[in-house]
Amino acid sequence: SQQGEEDPQALSIQEGENATMNCSYKTSINNLQWYRQNSGRGLVHLILIRSNEREKHSGRLRVTLDTSKKSSSLLITASRAADTASYFCATSGGGGADGLTFGKGTHLIIQP
Amino acid sequence: ETGVTQSPTHLIKTRGQQVTLRCSSQSGHNTVSWYQQALGQGPQFIFQYYREEENGRGNFPPRFSGLQFPNYSSELNVNALELDDSALYLCASSLRAPGGETQYFGPGTRLLVL
């Protein structure tokens, strides 16, 4: 079963605009991660935010985490055509390495 | 590139057959996890191996089994294949240590069961 739900399921924007994706989850977590997947290939890790953090930045990415609402958002600024992909949030409940629980993903299309 | 490799890239089997998928972890990683991703869905956790022992399992039946070898490479075996087993199978390696929560994924094996 899926732990999280990404919203929206699909998003189409113009190149240069900002893209925001949201993720909600159900149980308490240790950390939340965002991954990108291009055309059914392997997942690429983007960013990890721990349960005691509220915001994190990495290049054009900004992630927020609200544990009281069990939600996270991923903002991609100044989008590029190469950002076209599916984006997944994944939660981890235990310490160390354990299985991740993924949402269904947001399919992002950047139109040139 | 994550340094995680999987073989084969594609595979076609018929219902009832058995399949073995292989994964080579990133150097220095001691943990491997396997995921099943159906079309249009997010990956679902199958199981995880740490130091050659199963260390966590998702909601998958016993006909899904695995191995981890001393060099941290891994296999996923699926017996009595069903049509619904058609999916992309992903392995991910990680390091069981503080700060080692990030999992690094291979490119996947796409399995089609006819």
pLDDT tens digit sequence for A63-97: 999 999 999 999 999 999 999 999 999 998 654 44
Tell me whether residues B107 and A88 touch, CB distance under 8 A. Answer: no
Chain B nearest C-alpha distance from A42 (Å): 4
DSSP 3-state assignment of B84? helix
A38 contact residues in B (CB cutoff 8 A): none
pLDDT of residue B87: 97
For A1, A26, A42, A45, the CA distances from A71, given in Å and listed in that order, are: 18, 9, 25, 19
A31 contact residues in B (CB cutoff 8 A): 101
Tell me whether residues B42 and A103 touch, CB distance under 8 A. Answer: yes
Cβ of residue A100 closer than 8 Å to a chain B Cβ? yes
DSSP 3-state assignment of B83? helix
Is the pLDDT assigned to residue A9 strictly greater than 80? yes
Tell me whether residues A43 and B107 touch, CB distance under 8 A. Answer: no
DSSP 3-state assignment of B58? coil
- At residue A99 the predicted structure's pLDDT band, cuts being 50, 70 and 90, is confident
Tell me whether residues A99 and B97 touch, CB distance under 8 A. Answer: no
**Mean pLDDT (chain B, rounded):** 92
Which residue in A42, A97, A105 is closest to B31 by CB distance? A97
pLDDT of residue B98: 63
pLDDT tens digit sequence for B60-78: 999 999 999 988 899 999 9
pLDDT of residue A95: 47
DSSP 3-state assignment of A81? helix
